[in-house]
Structure 1
Amino acid sequence: MPTLPGAFLAWAAYRADRAEAVCDTDTKTEVLAAAVAAAESRQRAQLIGPGAHRIDVTFTHRPEPANNAVGAQREGRLGSIVAYYQRLRPARLVITGEPGAGKTLLAVELVLGLLTHPGRGPADPVPMRFSLANWDTSRPLQEWLVEQVHAQFRDCGLSLADVRGLVHGHRILPVLDGLDEMDTATTRAARRRATHALQQLNAYQDPTGNAPLVLTCHTPQYAELAALDLRMRKAARIELDPVTPAQATAYLAARSTSPARWTTVLDALTTAPNGTLARALSNPWRLNLAATTYEQRHPDTLTYLRHPDQLLPLASPSVVGDHLLALYLQAAVSQHPTRPGRYRPDQAHRWLAALAAHLAAAPASAAPGTDIVLHRLWPMAGPHRVRTADALLTGLLALAVGFTSAVGATLGTWFTAPLANGTELTDPRWPIRDDLVVGLTAVLLVGLVFGLATGSAAGPPTGLPLGFWAGLTWGSTFGLYVYSGAGRRYVVFLCCAHSRLPWRLGTFLHWAYEGGILRISGMAYQFRHRELQDWLAARPQA
């Protein structure tokens, strides 16, 4: 029978273990919060563009017939989104808007605002954005979240068990971006991934009831689902408003180094608020296009290449959009913040158009893709071609032994470099790097073990080098096939697709991200806007 002192010591040890566990969880939460804040700060800078000028977009609450969150105000704006969200009970928000209205930027602003809020405590959940386009809804939401968080932030020292504890302990606030990107318009409602996603989101609970989360979706797609009584329950739905002419003129004047050049355009926006130009430039995406394209200068003389007055005679908003998109890549390449001359505009157009066309070539039952994931691009070069080349390459690697380890390591860094210096914590090139490192390590370990074993049996003079050689021969096939499937196939894919894409595809995509042409979502690249992706997919050449 336990004595009183023994029982007290056991109780004290239990309390100490519990306090240490809580402290450890809080520490991991704060480490993750710091990493997310750094990544989202870079993402916001990419979305806003040069000069950090942003439009304080407004939004309107759209109450549903039932199951609304309480505390939602009738109107709000970008600058006060954190206060708006914190008043909701439960803290569940649906952000809707037309294409280009600024849903992603509003979500990023909410994430950063919650992370930097003065009242934030160590036990508060970490808001994190996830792209819904790659969620297989046959998998439970929390299982998918664990996979996504670990893939993005494992280099922060978070193990899979750590991440699972944070997700299941509701230390992660999911900000789910792109419900509209999960299905095609022709997919039947019962078969839509969005339908199953909403079912899981409505079942997502914490100890207090409906768990906090944020969802974004285009207005038409959400309205279509809501008409079938498919919506997020116990949530506040808001809809982003069009940019007003006053907001548009203030933004263009702020982005320009010579506002006088824009005088005629600004006057047209003010005097004709329902005119073609005002309707064409009624969202942040189009305004950013206009500012980027018409602020482009000649690289030698620094004279402006075009005048904003060229926008005035265009016949319709769609014509304005096509006109701006046709000029955008050339302007974005020339105004790249770090390497403006690294790639020619026609090269960038051709490579990005090939990727956009691949994303558009989705099966009839699935929505066109948005995520550019390096190790999943191989079907783009023809699945049979890549598989055949993959098998041949592995056979050659089994023959070229010493060459395998040296060249393999070079390929691992050359195709995905630079990865070590100054890269972000969430770099979509990491899976390829890690996969190749694991495979090549397996090659060397098998060769070393086999060589030592053979050398011990046959004698040091000849047994050790022959054993090591034989071990590398077998290990190259074993290691690269068993432990490096994604990395190996990515290298084979580049060999098969070299006529359509650059050899250093990862480097090019990251350059496009740094120039604001692409954005990063999780461990994938995405086009800055779906309108740009669709436009490029239809135009393979500049």
Structure 2
Amino acid sequence: MSLAVSVWFGYQSLVLARRAQGLADTDVAELANRLARLVMSAETDARDELLGRDTSAIDIALDFRPAPGTRPGNPLARTDLTDIVSYFNNLHPQRLMIIGAGGAGKTVLAIELIVGLLETRSADGAVPVRLSASEWDPHHDTVEALLIMQLEQTYGMLRSSAAALVEARKIVPVIDGLDEMDSDGAGAYTSRAARAIAELNTYQHGRHRSSVVVTCRTDQHAALDAARVWMRNAATLEVQPVTAARAVQFIRARVIDPARWEPIIAAIAAAPSGPIALGLSTPWRLTLAVTVYDQRNDRDGSYVHDLTELARIAARGIDTLREYLVSQMIPAVCGDPAARHPYPPDHVHRWLGVLSHDYLSGTSRFDSRFPTTTDLLDSRLPLIIGRRRLMAVGGAMIIGMLSAIAICVALLTPTETVMHKLHFLGLVTTAAVSVATGNAIWMSYIYRTRDRRWYPFDYLANSVVGTAAVSALLTQYGNGRAGLPWSTAIGAAFILMFVLPFLADYAQLHLMLMSRRQPWSGVHAGVRGLGVRGCLLVMTWAFVFVVVSPWQYAFVVSVVLTAFLLSQGLSYSYFVMLLCTRHAWSARPLPWRLGRFLDWCHEVRLLRIAGSAYQFRHRELQDYLERHPTP
């Protein structure tokens, strides 16, 4: 056992040493260059996801307003998408607030800015990094802490390397979705968005304010402005509605049969302020309308929707048109012949409705300390069934399984007396309760706080509970019928319940850090970590079968240790969540292969990737599913 542990520690030390040599450079310029390549790759993929098959963005008009008392970056008051990079480079200081209506293309504009800055970046220039505002808790994390966490989790950098880049101000934070930080959309002085702006106002490099870019909806920005909360020394860039001429140009370039769209084109051109032109005045709704009304039947190639329907619905108002277009988005993507492994539209609607209505809109109910309203995080998704239910079901499964196995083994061991069997069952039941308690302690930490300072205390409490339970078993049934001495039993239990779980968790963390953080990487690393845990379990079972007798009791003790080792991880919480969301006993079911389903939603562009989380492609889709969780 000690030899195996020593070999494992030696191997992991060698791996970490090699990784440290590659990633923990003190050369900040080289670190920045390496990060720039990673960001360029990630943002190019994000741009393709948002724009779809046609990667050309709608050329929207932009209204530039310099910050009071600063030098304007561009003499033009209004220009288009191609000028944003030069405008930002000429700002002093380089602080920009991008605002616009819902669906105006703020995220696409931020990505275009990031890609443009990276294309023109000098060898020692700063690297723009996009962050989801909903992941930030400005009451606990500074801008620097947010950036370091993002570089660690999304780009797999060591904390020391990330801290070096942030300290040297080689990172330009691009905070996307300031309006999504507060679920009620309020712009009160005490809101998370207001606190975030206060933090950004203290983000400086020496005596000068550091570069930063923020995106926000116009109404939220106006509410913050009314509360006298604004980002200091920041220019404002407002995304203007799509003009009738540019809408017509986009439709003719994008649709399959432009002649079929001529009545809509004529209506937009004839009435630039009419219902159709206003209803399609944002890139999101314009693209969605083209997607829905260009959908064709797989059997005969006929169009699924009649364009006269679009004009009739637009006449009822912008809200009615938006609601209808969003309602047709899921059937349109499910009917796309290019989609691989399509799901039935009603299933897709129902499953995404559960995620939107029960998880994202209910985050504060599950855990108010993680107030994200847009991010589907693998580490938080088990909370969809509620933290208490998650802990109760997880613990009940452990106790029930171990108790059932112990009863079966006791009944199948005729050589033991009834008193011995009852004594053994009592110890196993106590151990099962201890394992369940340890699992509850682990879940309590994972789903309670972001403060990593508490982790050693929770880990130690978990291990003490497990060590006490296993020590009791070893003192009774170790070394044949004589039992092991307390000191030996405690030492062996400490190795089994503290050292081995620590190695397993260490290996799982190592698997996550060695690759770029993606959605579900935590679950995937947990599944891959089961291989490491399996190797440790082989050693555990061998040790137990040597010191515990009879073999039936050794088997039960080994199962107890297996339950303890496998239940301390995200994979177990994920399994409990899936078990509680089965069609047979849940009114709000989810697919068994949830990760595969969300990957598919990402492929058909119902979801997008933002850092280490999935998000709905647009907030309007999420809001619609929250209002209508069932088809």
TM-score bracket, shorter-length normalisation: 0.7 to 0.9
**For residues 501 and 224 of structure 1, what CA distance do their matches in structure 2 show?**
37
Aligned to 1:5: none
**For residues 449 and 308 of structure 1, what CA distance do their matches in structure 2 show?**
68
**What letter matches 1:135 in structure 2?**
W
Are residue 507 (structure 1) and residue 596 (structure 2) matched? yes
Aligned to 2:611: 522
Q: Which moved more, 1:446-455 or 1:356-365?
A: 446-455
Aligned to 2:478: none
* Correspondence for 2:563 among 477, 487, 505: 477
Contact residue 40 and residue 108 of structure 1 kept, 8 A: yes
Aligned to 1:131: 132
Contact residue 53 and residue 255 of structure 1 kept, 8 A: no
Percent of counterpart pairs with the same letter? Answer: 33
Q: Which moved more, 1:378-387 or 1:176-185?
A: 378-387
Contact residue 100 and residue 286 of structure 1 kept, 8 A: yes
Aligned to 2:373: 369
Are residue 80 (structure 1) and residue 89 (structure 2) matched? no
The structural deviation recorded for 1:452 is 5.0
Alignment of 1:171-210 (within 5 A): 171-185=170-184, 189-207=188-206, 209-210=208-209
Question: Which SS does the other structure have where 2:174 is aligned?
Answer: strand
* Correspondence for 1:38 among 41, 45, 56: 41
**For residues 371 and 331 of structure 1, what CA distance do their matches in structure 2 show?**
24
**For residues 472 and 37 of structure 1, what CA distance do their matches in structure 2 show?**
49
Aligned to 1:325: 326
Aligned to 2:578: 494
1:418-469: CA deviation from partner (whole Å, max 9, x where unpaired):
xx9xxx94520101122344466346325515735875x79xxx99x99996
**For residues 382 and 25 of structure 2, what CA distance do their matches in structure 1 show?**
44
Are residue 534 (structure 1) and residue 623 (structure 2) matched? yes
Pick the structure with greater CA Rg.
2
Aligned to 1:151: 153
Aligned to 2:160: 161
**What letter matches 1:497 in structure 2?**
T
**What letter matches 1:131 in structure 2?**
S
Q: 1:349 to 1:68 in 2, by over 3 A?
A: farther
1:291-314: CA deviation from partner (whole Å, max 9, x where unpaired):
100111111222221232321122
Aligned to 1:303: 302
Q: 1:258 to 1:394 in 2, by over 3 A?
A: same
The structural deviation recorded for 1:342 is 2.4
Question: Which SS does the other structure have where 1:238 is aligned?
Answer: strand
The structural deviation recorded for 1:21 is 8.7
Q: 1:126 to 1:453 in 2, by over 3 A?
A: farther
Contact residue 133 and residue 180 of structure 2 kept, 8 A: yes
**Cα root mean square deviation, aligned:** 2.9
**What letter matches 2:347 in structure 1?**
Q
The structural deviation recorded for 1:525 is 0.9
**What letter matches 1:26 in structure 2?**
A
**For residues 116 and 480 of structure 1, what CA distance do their matches in structure 2 show?**
47
**What letter matches 2:572 in structure 1?**
R
Question: Which SS does the other structure have where 1:374 is aligned?
Answer: coil
**For residues 186 and 146 of structure 1, what CA distance do their matches in structure 2 show?**
27
**What letter matches 2:252 in structure 1?**
A
Contact residue 450 and residue 470 of structure 1 kept, 8 A: no
Q: 1:446 to 1:161 in 2, by over 3 A?
A: farther
The structural deviation recorded for 1:387 is 1.7
Question: Any unmatched runs of 5+ in structure 2?
Answer: 1-22, 407-510, 584-588
1:467-511: CA deviation from partner (whole Å, max 9, x where unpaired):
9967853443333344x1x22211110111133111111111111
Aligned to 1:409: none
Are residue 220 (structure 1) and residue 219 (structure 2) matched? yes
Question: Any unmatched runs of 5+ in structure 1?
Answer: 1-19, 402-419
**What letter matches 2:73 in structure 1?**
G
TM-score (norm 2): 0.72
Question: Which SS does the other structure have where 1:501 is aligned?
Answer: coil
**What letter matches 1:493 in structure 2?**
M
The structural deviation recorded for 1:63 is 4.4
**For residues 541 and 111 of structure 1, what CA distance do their matches in structure 2 show?**
38
Aligned to 1:3: none
Contact residue 62 and residue 236 of structure 1 kept, 8 A: yes
Q: 1:126 to 1:306 in 2, by over 3 A?
A: same
**For residues 552 and 170 of structure 2, what CA distance do their matches in structure 1 show?**
54
Contact residue 204 and residue 210 of structure 1 kept, 8 A: yes
* Correspondence for 1:141 among 130, 140, 143: 143
Contact residue 353 and residue 540 of structure 1 kept, 8 A: yes
Are residue 392 (structure 1) and residue 396 (structure 2) matched? yes
**For residues 154 and 219 of structure 2, what CA distance do their matches in structure 1 show?**
31
Q: 1:229 to 1:536 in 2, by over 3 A?
A: same
* Correspondence for 1:89 among 88, 92, 96: 92
Aligned to 1:48: 51
Question: Which SS does the other structure have where 1:525 is aligned?
Answer: strand
Q: 1:149 to 1:466 in 2, by over 3 A?
A: farther
**For residues 535 and 237 of structure 2, what CA distance do their matches in structure 1 show?**
56
The structural deviation recorded for 1:161 is 2.0
The structural deviation recorded for 1:77 is 1.8
Q: Which moved more, 1:22-31 or 1:500-509?
A: 22-31
**What letter matches 2:334 in structure 1?**
V
Q: 1:184 to 1:441 in 2, by over 3 A?
A: same
The structural deviation recorded for 1:193 is 0.9
Q: 1:448 to 1:298 in 2, by over 3 A?
A: same
**For residues 204 and 337 of structure 2, what CA distance do their matches in structure 1 show?**
45
Alignment of 1:281-360 (within 5 A): 281-314=280-313, 315-335=316-336, 337-339=338-340, 341-358=341-358, 359-360=360-361
Contact residue 97 and residue 234 of structure 2 kept, 8 A: yes
**What letter matches 2:192 in structure 1?**
R
**For residues 316 and 31 of structure 1, what CA distance do their matches in structure 2 show?**
49
Question: Which SS does the other structure have where 2:379 is aligned?
Answer: helix
**For residues 599 and 523 of structure 2, what CA distance do their matches in structure 1 show?**
14
Aligned to 1:15: none
Contact residue 432 and residue 487 of structure 1 kept, 8 A: yes
The structural deviation recorded for 1:336 is 6.5
Question: How many pairs align?
Answer: 488
Alignment of 1:434-453 (within 5 A): 434-438=525-529, 441-442=532-533, 444-445=535-536, 447-448=538-539, 451-452=542-543
**What letter matches 1:242 in structure 2?**
P
The structural deviation recorded for 1:348 is 0.7
The structural deviation recorded for 1:173 is 1.4
**For residues 39 and 469 of structure 1, what CA distance do their matches in structure 2 show?**
49
**What letter matches 1:516 in structure 2?**
R
1:37-61: CA deviation from partner (whole Å, max 9, x where unpaired):
1221111111112222321111112
The structural deviation recorded for 1:277 is 0.6
Contact residue 251 and residue 290 of structure 2 kept, 8 A: yes
